[in-house]
Amino acid sequence: MKVAGRVEFLTKSETQEINDRAQELKRKGKDLVDLGAGEPRFSEPETARSAGKEAIKDGYTGYTEVGGNHNLKGAIMKRYERIFGVDTSNLAVISTVGAKSALFEITQLLYEKGDEVILPKPYWVSYSAQVRLAGGKPVYAKGEPENHYLPTAGDIESKITPATRGILINSPANPSGGVYNEKQSRDIVDLAREHELFLVGDECYDGFVYEKDRFWTLASSDYEGVMVVGSTSKNFAMTGWRLGYILGRTRYINELENIQSHFTSSPPAISQKAGEAAFRDELTLSRNLREEFKLKREFLAGELSELPGINCSPPPGSFYLLPDVREALTDLGYENDEDGKLARFFLEEAGVVTVPGSAFGCPGHLRLAYLPDKVRLEEAIERIEKTVRNSG
């Protein structure tokens, strides 16, 4: 029987195919250095674990309010007041089953058939799929390497048409690690305001910014069309707890709660208690981790740039690098946009997992997550260098 036409464009990504092959190799006993998965290797905060255990012990395991319990919402608001100095008096919050659900619910709220939504390019892989599932049309604003692949307000403005309904930006960015500074962010807010467009900020990596005063959250804006998406998955390594949230004006948050009531209902009660504890203790948890990640970023970017045909500068945020490997591809006998073949080559021959840039709309590049410890990063470089040298 035929399924709905709206899902026919959805296929398994090249990223997933490489991940599947990596898992197969691991099952066969092959030692892999995994620079592909964007899942933190440190543990979630002990306070979050303890709060989750206490929730189970106390029987706090049932349904909660659809948008999350009052204490969790308060902890999220206080986070923005404490860390970013945001005046939250005009904001409301809904907690969601991860940030992916948050973004999906937003597309369902805002877009319908014929609406154009401007997305960054390179992009996280689910943005365009979610827009298309809502009936909208993705339109891409390309970022340049000198801005760590983030599109500027001018780049975005050039894509606006009478059909444009919204803009999505991602800062700190996956896959590039780019981070908008305050002026760049304000310019995009002003652009959205001028054209009366919704502006969605995916800020799930806001705990991974390595330059002082670099990041400015869109939650600081007074524009009513702004919505901010956040998560516990990256900042707190709570990927399996599935807890995200959306900040925005009350009228939109109320509508999102209506959608969520027919979608996932509330996030798991246990996860809400754990998330509340993580937000409460965030400042004491993140400082040392950020310094460790900064050192790994500088090491891996520097070592990659020493390899023939690879150009990599350290970006200001997230935990990804997006090196340009087009020259290396040519040297190895590939076309300069066949990064998928290079990723498979590194997987099979070097035992190093990477992600093709093509999966993010950036052919000729690879995405590498500098999440393993420094010893494993050194091993990854040694394996790649040896494999390239033996193939030359």
User: The domain spanning residue 25 has which CATH number?
Assistant: 3.90.1150.10
CA end-to-end span of the chain: 51
- One-letter identity of residue 334: Y
Nearest to 32 by CA among 352, 348, 342: 352
Domain shared by 198 and 123, yes or no: yes
Which of 259, 283, 307 delimits the end of a domain? 283
User: For residue 297, what pLDDT is reported?
Assistant: 96
Helices 98-110 & 126-133, crossing angle to 10 degrees?
Answer: 40
Among 283, 315, 336, the domain-final residue is: 283
Mean of pLDDT values over 329-349: 95
Catalogue the long-range contacts made by 83-89 (C-beta closer than 8 Å, 24 or more residues apart). 83/282, 83/283, 84/217, 84/219, 84/220, 85/220, 86/217, 86/219, 86/220, 88/219, 88/247
* Domains in the chain, number: 2
Domain check: are 198 and 316 in the same one? no
Q: How confident is the model at residue 41 (pLDDT cuts 50, 70, 90)?
A: confident
Residues 313 and 226 reside in one and the same domain: no
Give yes or no for a contact between 184 and 152, defined as CB atoms under 8 angstroms apart. yes
C-alpha 167 chain-centroid distance: 16
Q: Are residues 152 and 272 in the same domain?
A: yes
CB 186 within 8 A of CB 216: yes
Q: What is the pLDDT of residue 289?
A: 80
Q: Is the pLDDT confidence value at 365 over 70?
A: yes
Identify whether residues 105 and 190 lie together within a single domain: yes
8 to each of 116, 132, 170, 361, how far by Cα in Å?
Answer: 20, 11, 27, 20
pLDDT band at 287 (very low <50, low <70, confident <90, very high): low
Q: How confident is the model at residue 2 (pLDDT cuts 50, 70, 90)?
A: confident
Q: Looking at the structure, do residues 167 and 188 belong to the same domain, yes or no?
A: yes
Is residue 73 domain-shared with residue 213, that is, in the same domain? yes
Asked whether residue 112 falls in the same domain as residue 252, the answer is yes
CATH number, domain containing residue 64: 3.40.640.10
Share above pLDDT 70 across residues of the chain, in percent, rounded to a whole number: 98
**pTM of the prediction?**
0.96
Range of the domain at 231: 46-283
Examine the domain organization and report whether 108 and 201 are in the same domain: yes
Domain boundary among 283, 313, 332: 283
Same domain, 266 and 306: no
Q: Are residues 222 and 83 in the same domain?
A: yes
225 and 89 inside one domain = yes
